[in-house]
Amino acid sequence: MWGKINLYKESNMSSQQAVSRLRRLLKIKKIGHSGTLDPMATGVLNCFVSQATKFIDLLPEGEKIYRADFILGKTSDTLDIWGELISHSFIPPSEAEVVEKLGTFLGPSLQTPPMYSALKHKGKALYKYAREGVEIPRKKREIHISNLELLGFDGEEGSIRIHCSRGTYIRTLIDDFGQLLGTGALMSGLVREKNDWARIEDCYTLQDIEGLIAQKDWGFLQSVDRNVDLVSIDIPINIYDDLLTGKTKTILKGQGEGRVLLYYKDLFVGTAFWKEDELQREKLIQVEHDT
């Protein structure tokens, strides 16, 4: 059993805890994920089961879409409502002013990652340093926000939808927005609605998956080559066996150069590179076949 799963991560669990529960349900140890979500956040978490973990980098990097709630007049050490709160007096801005300030974040910009994050410094997560009261200098990272929509605002609390690049911290965005507005602001809720190729409406909860497993229904597993826009070729059994047994090159007339998807009897079996009419092995999976 292998493939990718669009998992709906629920609140009050880390991404790693969600994956651990998935391991117990599937009785498979080798499961990975991409795009870590904060414990209090919910939404799309891309998971890869067994041999599919080899191909995490194969999937196209798409935009992220988040729906976030914010509160003005408050800040915290974690930049969200679950940290140590500090209240600030402020004059409620108009909705027009909020929209105007949000608009300044559109396009490319540089963002400083928060201390309370899973990024590592010398092999140790930044949030662990933060809990010890240690501040680690962080380099600004380039992000891109393609769309930012105000969904609602009552003078103190509101919600926004953000279309952004990988590596964007929504907590930091809201904190920066609060500073620009002059009121202070923190994140009070976060839902990831889209993560690269996966959308929230296509996700399964852990409870969904448990029920489907009980029915022996494996429809929640997708083939890892889905959503990948690369040239695909069918290879004969002798080429597949050559590659599988360690021959890194085998002569086969190519269709150009570059990375390709390999199929044996319409079943995805891995990736390779064409180069000067040679098929060079990259990553393969082992499938049963007739000898």
User: β-strands 231-234, 258-264: how paired?
Assistant: parallel
**The pLDDT value given to residue 254:** 65
CA angle centred on 188, ends 159 and 182, rounded to 5°: 75
Residues 262, 270: contact at Cβ < 8 Å? yes
Q: What CATH number has the domain bearing residue 134? A: 3.30.2350.10
Model-level pTM greater than 0.85? yes
Q: Give the residue numbers marked as catalytic.
A: 38
Shared domain for 81 and 203, answered yes or no, is no
Shared domain for 189 and 70, answered yes or no, is yes
Please choose, from the candidates 3, 1, 5, 4, the residue with its C-alpha nearest in 3D space to the C-alpha of residue 205.
5
Shared domain for 13 and 96, answered yes or no, is no
Per the domain annotation, does 222 fall within a domain? no
* d(C-alpha 211, C-alpha 131), whole Å: 39
Shared domain for 104 and 188, answered yes or no, is yes
* d(C-alpha 7, C-alpha 141), whole Å: 28
Output helix, strand, coil percentages for the chain, rounded to the nearest 5.
Answer: 25, 40, 40
Shared domain for 68 and 188, answered yes or no, is yes
* d(C-alpha 29, C-alpha 273), whole Å: 30
**The pLDDT value given to residue 11:** 95
**The pLDDT value given to residue 179:** 96
Helix (H, G, I), strand (E, B) or coil at 118: coil
**The pLDDT value given to residue 228:** 83
Residue appearing with tokens 């997560």? 125
The torsion angles phi and psi of 200, rounded to 5 degrees, stand at -65, -35
Shared domain for 34 and 88, answered yes or no, is no
Q: How far is it between the farthest Cα atoms of the chain?
A: 77
Structure tokens at 240: 């597949």
Shared domain for 71 and 89, answered yes or no, is yes
**The pLDDT value given to residue 255:** 62
Please choose, from the candidates 240, 239, 248, the residue with its C-alpha nearest in 3D space to the C-alpha of residue 282.
248
Shared domain for 45 and 76, answered yes or no, is no
Half-sphere exposure of 31 (CA within 13 A, CB side): 27
Per the domain annotation, does 221 fall within a domain? no
The type of residue at 206 is L
The boundaries of the domain holding residue 263 are 231-284
Shared domain for 119 and 141, answered yes or no, is yes
Shared domain for 88 and 40, answered yes or no, is no
User: b or e along 257-277 (b: 16 or more beta carbons within 10 Å of the residue's beta carbon)?
Assistant: eeebbbbbeeebbbbbebeee
What does each of the 291 residues of the chain score in pLDDT, given as a tens digit? Answer: 889 999 999 999 999 999 999 999 999 999 999 888 999 999 999 999 998 998 888 877 778 999 999 999 999 999 999 999 999 999 999 999 999 999 999 999 999 999 998 889 998 989 899 999 999 999 999 999 999 999 999 999 999 999 999 999 999 999 999 999 999 999 999 999 999 889 999 999 999 999 999 999 999 999 888 878 888 888 888 888 888 887 777 777 766 678 889 998 888 999 988 877 788 888 888 777 665
Helix (H) or strand (E) holding 207, with range, is: helix 206-214
Q: What CATH number has the domain bearing residue 279? A: 2.30.130.10
Structure tokens at 96: 């027009």
Counting the structural domains of the chain, the total is 3
Helix 206-214 vs helix 15-26: angle between axes, to the nearest 10 degrees?
A: 0
